[in-house]
Amino acid sequence: MLREYEFTVVAKADLPDADKQKLFAGYEEILKRGGGEFLKRDDWGTKRLAYPIRKNFRGHYMFYDCASLPANIAECERLLRIDDNVLRYLVVKLNDEVDIPARLAELAKAAAAAQRQPEEN
C-alpha cells in the first residue's frame, strides 16, 4: 500500500550539477519502485544554511511530495545516512493511504490558486 510522504534533501552546494542530478535521480528511482509516484517535485536551489554543517555554509535543497512504499522510504533513509554528499534530510509521513489522481488534482488546484493570488494584490 502506497503512503504519502514529504521528502526534503539538502546536498552539498559545491557538487557539480551533473553529480547533483545523478544523486537526486538515484533516490528518485528508489522511491518509484513498486508503483511509487511523485506528486510534486521542487528544486529549491542553493541556499545559505542557518548554521554550518560539516564546514558547509550553503546547501542545495530538493523537495518531493511522493507516494511510495514504506520499504522504499526506509531504503532511502538508510542510503541518505551514509551518503557523504547529503548534509541533511527530512522525511514526513502525511497520509497512510493516498488516492494519487485526487491528490494530483488537489495540488494542481492549489498551484493555480497560488498563481492567481499575486495578480489580485
| 99: helix, strand or coil | coil
pLDDT of res. 119:
64
* Model confidence pLDDT, tens digit, residues 44-67: 999 999 999 999 999 999 999 988
Which domain covers residue 112, as residue numbers?
3-120
121 has a pLDDT exceeding 80: no
List, in order, residues 6 or more apart from 88 with CB less than 8 Å away: 9, 10, 53, 59
| Total domain count, the chain | 1
Sign of the four-CA dihedral 66, 96, 94, 101: positive
Supply the CATH number for residue 113's domain. Answer: 3.30.70.60
**36 or 21, which is more confident:** 21
pLDDT of res. 22:
93
Q: What is the mean pLDDT of residues 9-35?
A: 91
Query: Can you read off the three cell numbers belonging to residue 115?
Result: 498563481
* Model confidence pLDDT, tens digit, residues 77-114: 999 999 999 999 999 998 888 777 788 788 888 878 88
Distance CA 107, CA 110 (A): 5
pLDDT of res. 33:
86
**60 or 35, which is more confident:** 60
pLDDT of res. 120:
59
2-6, 35-39, 50-54, 61-65, range with the lowest pLDDT: 35-39
Question: DSSP labels for 6-67?
Answer: EEEEEEETTS-HHHHHHHHHHHHHHHHGGG-EEEEEEEEEEEEEEEEETTEEEEEEEEEEEE
